[in-house]
Structure 1
Amino acid sequence: MAAINLQKGQKIDLTKGNPGLSKIQVGLGWDEVTKPKSGGLLGGLFGGTPAAIDCDASAIMLDANDKLTSKDRLVYFGNLQSADKSVKHSGDNLTGAGEGDDEQINVDLSQVPSGVQKIVFVVNIYDCLKRKQDFGHIANAFIRVVNPSNGQELCRFNLTENYAGKTSLVVAEVYRHTNEWKFAAIGEGTNDASLSELIRRYK
């Protein structure tokens, strides 16, 4: 079965249409827009190419009121798994180079605590203010959900919008609906300059 390509704002069932699905792998990827080569006008004036863009993917586990109730429920490069071990991060990718997923977050849906209603997936640019970087420097960003038991890609959301000037992205969310899990494509750019700023909206 071919993966479902989603548009911004679309939602799909994950578990209802995939009986037995209890674990998902959420892959996030992006490419850096080609930088000017050193030695040209910019290189001559400012001494070489700009710093590589370090995008960081994180998962925020929220309660029924969309609140982050514990720091252990924020999974990112500095905390690679939730305290209950239901959400695990693959680790930090510093450049976004290469094909495929740049960072992956694995979710054991059967182990997510009952008090967690939603898992929000976000991406922010590390040290963006100091490096003067934003998502206008990023292309081909996507999020996809894979069934790790057979490698089948269940859905994909390509972020085709222009996010120039934005420094963080609320990419998508996985959430409970009755006794099932659903996926929603969000694609909202924000001006939060760090992950700590971004999570303030969930406190």
Structure 2
Amino acid sequence: MIINLQKGEKISLTKENSNLTKLLVGLGWDTNEYSGGFAFDLDASAFLLDQNGNASGIEDFIFYNNLEGGNGSVIHTGDNLTGEGEGDDEVIKIDLQKIPERIKKIAITVTIYEAVKRVQNFGQVANAYVRVINELTNEEFIHYDLGEDFSVETAVVVCEIYRHNDEWKFGAVGSGFSGGLQALCANYGLQAG
């Protein structure tokens, strides 16, 4: 059974399913008709955060130039440069059992590559979603459509997967940022170079 979430809703991943250990977080999107002369290149990323909401270094930032982190617990499967076609545009694999104890939260984000140069923003993006799949059974069990609430934002925190007591939870965030990847990095205690 797929649970459809709305912005701000949270749900336990492991309370009812203690055998859940490996997740696939699939992200997808379409772009509206746009005549700016540049293709859209959206990029999914994961920030591995401590109890204060900060990444301790670049090793806690999983993206197209650093595909693995957290002792192999979080793996980005690769950059889709066009977002064309059906299904997930980018996928992040998470092994809940391998996540280091110091990591309390994983923020899953999407940014627009060179958004300022290309004059692009999330107001030009449609049908954005995140879904969570049990990797071992290939069953989708959480789906969150981001809606079309964005205008000038160039980065979005899509969702968070976080520890709460002895369980893992999923939070549908859908929070937009202006300033793209640099703004996100600064928000999580990193300096983008």
Verify same fold: TM over 0.5. yes
2:97 corresponds to 1:102: no
Q: Which residue of 2 aligns with 1:45?
A: none
2:169 corresponds to 1:182: yes
**RMSD, aligned CA:** 1.1
1:122 and 1:192 mapped to 2: Cα distance?
13
Matches within 5 A, 1:86-97: 86-97=73-84
2:17 corresponds to 1:30: no
Matches within 5 A, 1:4-83: 4-36=3-35, 50-82=37-69
Tell me the alpha carbon deviations over residues 38-78 of structure 1, each in whole angstroms, 9 at most, x when there is no partner: xxxxxxxxxxx621110000000000010111210100000
2:182 corresponds to 1:196: yes
AA in 2 matched with 1:116: I
Q: Which residue of 2 aligns with 1:134?
A: 121
Tell me the alpha carbon deviations over residues 74-127 of structure 1, each in whole angstroms, 9 at most, x when there is no partner: 000000000511000011011111111000000000000000000000000000
1:197 and 1:170 mapped to 2: Cα distance?
11
Identity of aligned residues (%): 46
SS, match of residue 185 in structure 2 = helix
2:146 and 2:171 mapped to 1: Cα distance?
13
2:182 and 2:70 mapped to 1: Cα distance?
19
Once the two structures are TM-superposed, the CA of residue 198 in structure 1 deviates from its matched residue by 1.3
1:196 and 1:18 mapped to 2: Cα distance?
37
1:117 and 1:83 mapped to 2: Cα distance?
11
* Gapped regions of structure 1 (runs ≥ 5): 37-48
Once the two structures are TM-superposed, the CA of residue 18 in structure 1 deviates from its matched residue by 1.4
Say how many residue pairs are matched: 189
